[in-house]
Amino acid sequence: MSCNPYLSAVEREVLGRAVVGIAGAGGLGSNCAMHLVRSGVRRLVIADFDTVVPGNLNRQFFFADQVGMPKVEALRANLLRIEPALELDMRQVRITAENVDELFAACAVVAEAFDTVEAKAMIVGALASKTPLVAVSGVAGWGNSNALEVRRAGRNLVLVGDGKTGVDPANGVFPHSPRVGIAAAMLANTVVSLLLGAPL
C-alpha cells in the first residue's frame, strides 16, 4: 500500500527500498519524516533522545496528548497513522561522534535535523565523507522565504536554508512553524531527489 498514488513503478520501488536516516525528531526531523512517508519512503532510521514538551507543539509533528512521550515513540505513532506498512527503526538516544556511524550505517542518505551548530558540525564531519547527507542551516524567524535554498556544498553534502538566520533569543529570533515547515519540506524533497536521481 502507498499513500502516494502518483508514483511510477520505478519510483515506488526505489523509495520503498531505500533506508533513510533522520538525525533529530524535532521541528525539522518530525516534519521531514512526515513528508518522506507521504512521498513513498517506507524505511526510516530516526534517532532523538528528547521527549515532547508543550513548547514543541507550535512547529513539530506532535499533538497535545503526546506531551511527555519520547519523541521517537510519538513520531512512530503519527507516521504509522499515515502509512501502517512502514519499517521504522526508532532510537531514543543522543547522537554523538561515537555512535553516529553505527546508528546510520544502513542508510542510503541521512537528513540532519539538529538544533545546535555543534551537533550539525559533528554529523557533517562524521558522515559527509562517506554518506550522502542533507543538512540545514539558517531557518529561524519569519518571512524572507525566498532566501531558503538548496545548494551543494560537497560531493556528499547538500545544504538547505539561508545559511545565516539561526536561533538568537537575545535578539528575539526563534524557530516558527512556517519557516521551519518550509525547510523540512525542502529537506524531504532533497532526500527524495537524491534517491531518484532527480535535479535538486
Q: What is the number of other CB atoms lying within 10 angstroms of the CB of residue 38?
A: 15
**Beta strand 133-136 pairing with 157-161:** parallel
Name the percent of the chain lying above pLDDT 70: 99
Banded pLDDT at 24 (limits 50, 70, 90): very high
What is the rounded CA–CA span in Å between residue 185 and residue 165? 18
Nearest to 45 by CA among 62, 15, 25, 68: 25
Per residue, the 3-state secondary structure of 108-124, as one string, reads CEEEECCCCHHHHHHHH
Given this structure, which CATH class describes domain 9-196? alpha beta
The alpha-carbon radius of gyration of the chain (Å, integer) is: 16
pLDDT score recorded for residue 2: 65
